[in-house]
Amino acid sequence: MRFLITGYKGQLGYEIAKCLLKNGDEDIIAIDKDDLDITDSEKTIKFITEKKPDIVFHCAAYTQVDKAEECEELVYKVNVLGTKSITEACKKINAKLFYFSTDYVFDGEKNGLYKETDTPNPKSVYGETKYLGEKEVLKYEKSFIIRISWVFGINGHNFIKTMIKLSETKKELSVVSDQIGSPTYTVDLANLLIEMLKTDKYGIYHVNNDGYCSWAEFAEFIFKETNKDIKINHVTTEEYLELTKTKQAYRPRNSKLCKEKLINSGFSMLPTWQDATKRYIQELKEKGEC
């Protein structure tokens, strides 16, 4: 099979390419924005239809949540129009499409877990454009929409790396405790995607590591595993914004995603977020980054 990965320099794209190679798949076309501007519809459709991949992992996206509020037109072009072109190209060559969405498609006001069938209500430019991207992908029957959250991987920036960096100069940190969700380790997700691509069980899936935590609890676990003596002050989102004097895009308070559909479809559950974090920290140590 031939694989195409967009946004391969990001955390997830990088890991998918690595996982495919490890799996013995070598016909991989890995591209980033320097290789193809997905906002150029004509070029995008031409590129994909000429390369004729069997599977497309569409990881490219505008993901800077706060900056997105200031450049809505660009974010729309990347996350919606880019996704539309990729979907149209996949339809032309009958390729399976994987699109990666986010917990930000929900407003976070529900009590309990969010199911795939719950109506999205995004409250940020990022969330809105990812949801509109979902709508484009849903027009094509051979597509998987994978909603993920709190992603961390070896290639790129993430919360764990930020916490470790801050621990070099800080002994006390204020971290929000009223946003609850599940971290997603790219290694675990990539392995599951290899399992999913062999099937035709298309549709929307919620996928992240098992269990839930707040950002503050996540930070405490990171410092416990890295043997750092850092005091974590649990604060509300409002308190954090007041303390830091920053303006942020809206973030859902409840990002608990239900994974029943994943289980009912016969797919593997990802390990707990604690287990994933331990393995990731070990990976960082082996690379001399921790």
Catalytic residue list contains 99: no
Name, in order, each residue with C-beta under 8 angstroms of 247's C-beta and a sequence gap of 6 or more. Answer: 66, 241
- Structure letter (DSSP) for residue 95: -
Count of H-run helices and E-run strands, the chain: 12, 12
CA–CA distance, 161 with 168 (Å, rounded to integer) = 11
At residue 288, φ and ψ (nearest 5 deg) are: 75, 25
Strands 213-214 and 180-181: antiparallel
Is the CB of residue 146 less than 8 Å from the CB of residue 221? no
Which parts of 20-138 are beta strand (E)? Answer: 28-31, 55-58, 96-102
In 3-state terms, what secondary structure has residue 213?
A: strand
CA–CA distance, 142 with 96 (Å, rounded to integer) = 5
Is the CB of residue 150 less than 8 Å from the CB of residue 189? no
Task: From the candidates 126, 131, 185, 280, give the one annotated as an active-site residue.
Answer: 126
Q: Looking at the DSSP assignment, which residues form a beta bridge with residue 144?
A: 98, 203
CA–CA distance, 187 with 262 (Å, rounded to integer) = 17
User: Residue 144: exposed, middle, or buried by beta-carbon count in 10 A (0-12, 13-18, 19+)?
Assistant: buried
Active site residues: 126
